[in-house]
Amino acid sequence: MSSPVSDDRVAAVRSFNRFFTRQIGVLREGLLHSQFTLTEMRVLYELAHHGDQPSAALCRDLGLDRGYLSRIVTGFEAAGLVAKVPSPTDGRAKLLHLTDHGRAVYEPLDRRSREEVGDLLARFDDADQLRMLDAMRTIRTLLDTDGALKYAQPFVLRTHRPGDMAWITRRHGALYATQQGWDASFETLVGQICADFEHNFDPARERCWIAEMNGVPVGSIALARSGEEGVAKLRLLLVEDAARGHGLGSRLVDECHRYARAAGYRKVRLWTTDQQAEARHIYRNKGYVLVAEEAVHAFGKDMVNETWELDL
């Protein structure tokens, strides 16, 4: 429920905005003493850190007007920073690609940005650094109420590494045995899915993420090829009980979609059952449509297999 807002509170927020933008140098004509504006740096950041992407994805993720982004990209192409390349999954689509020259220009700026933030934090002792980060997290949590990615949440995502597939298999088996009463055949199935993913892994078109809290794995998800052109499979979504309530499941799915769009996929397909209420709620909220159902007896239980699809 919204509440009346006094003029002095509005003034306080506007004052903080002016103070903070001055502190981080946003008002400088060239961000980080470069020729780039803040928006241009954000576009370079997305391409450098998240790989090739369609223009539509950048417009959506950065909240940019399509024409505005087009003008930025045109300038970047003329400077040799960005090129348009064919999608590996859809020959009709083009992705924005940061060239070697673009990366050589961007990386010193990214390093300078990290150094500036490090210098800012170094002015404070450890306790005050933590107070500042906690205040930032509070602001982000309160403002981020529209279902967008909650980067300030108490977890981090990383790509998978040796040993992770064994953890995914083991935790799926344990959690579904406890929560759903499924038998060991489900863990065997997950183990086979993980083994196939590792054996056939294509780093240009597939990705697996592990979520960690305090350095401990608490969640997973993967995007894999389906064998059908332009269609990817969402697999291995898992959130530990200790990590629930932080929006982790939604964040993992969003990260999967982000990568799928960047890789040029046009559709994501997934399999689940009618017993996964929380996961189905996430999928429905993300726009997935139930396209097939089949009553089966599996993993020691009667259930309904479901296929869901999302057009990207």
Q: What is the pLDDT of residue 32?
A: 55
Residue 148, pLDDT score: 42
* pTM of the full structure: 0.55
CATH for 156-311 is: 3.40.630.30
Which pLDDT does position 189 carry in this prediction? Answer: 96
Closest CA to 144 of 30, 251, 58, 273: 251
Q: How many CB atoms lie within 10 A of CB 151?
A: 12
4-8, 87-91, 176-180, 205-209: lowest mean pLDDT where? 87-91
Architecture of domain 7-123: Orthogonal Bundle (1.10)
Give per-residue pLDDT as tens, 140-175. Answer: 767 765 444 444 456 788 899 999 999 999 999 999
Per residue in 90-147, pLDDT (tens digit) is 667 788 999 999 999 999 988 888 888 888 888 889 888 888 888 887 777 677 654 4
Structure tokens at 231: 């269609």
- Provide the percentage of residues in the chain whose pLDDT is more than 90: 47
Q: Which residue has the higher pLDDT, 111 or 270?
A: 270
Quote the mean pLDDT of the chain. Answer: 86
pLDDT at 87: 80
Q: Is the pLDDT of residue 262 over 80?
A: yes
CA-closest candidate to residue 257, choices 102, 139, 147: 147
Domain ranges of the chain: 7-123, 156-311
| DSSP string across the chain | ------HHHHHHHHHHHHHHHHHTTTTSSSGGGSS--HHHHHHHHHHHHH-SB-HHHHHHHHT--HHHHHHHHHHHHHTTSEEEEE-SS-TT-EEEEE-HHHHHHHHHHHHHHHHHHHHHHHTS-HHHHHHHHHHHHHHHHHH--SS---TTSS-EEEE--TTHHHHHHHHHHHHHHHHT---HHHHHHHHHHHHHHHHT--TTT-EEEEEEETTEEEEEEEEEE-SSTTEEEEEEEEE-GGGTTSSHHHHHHHHHHHHHHHTT-SEEEEEEETT-HHHHHHHHHTT-EEEEEEEEEETTEEEEEEEEEEE-
**Which is more confident, 275 or 141?**
275
Give 33's pLDDT tier (boundaries 50, 70, 90).
low
Question: What integer is the mean pLDDT of 227-248?
Answer: 90
